[in-house]
Amino acid sequence: MSNKIERAQTGIRIEKRLLKVLKGLAEHLDISVGDLIEGIALHSFENKPPFSADTIAKIAQLKNVYEFEWTAEDSHKFNEVEE
């Protein structure tokens, strides 16, 4: 396996409050949002939890700050808001 990677710029659409939580968490962990998403995806592909108990506590704080109440069960129930 090679550690050489090639990154792609993407324009994903994501729920605004979720993005705020991700940005806050990335800042807290001193990594980019892209690196955070890559880490979450790689862990989930192997069915491994991506976060420590301390990081989960920080996520709970950020969710509270940004009034983000969605859960994993809600992920396929999002309704688009027309702007």
Strand runs (DSSP E) across the chain, as ranges? none
Please say whether the beta carbons of 18 and 69 come within 8 A. Answer: no
4-43 pLDDT, tens digit each:
889 889 888 899 999 999 999 999 999 999 999 999 999 9
pTM: 0.84
d(CA 1, CA 68): 39
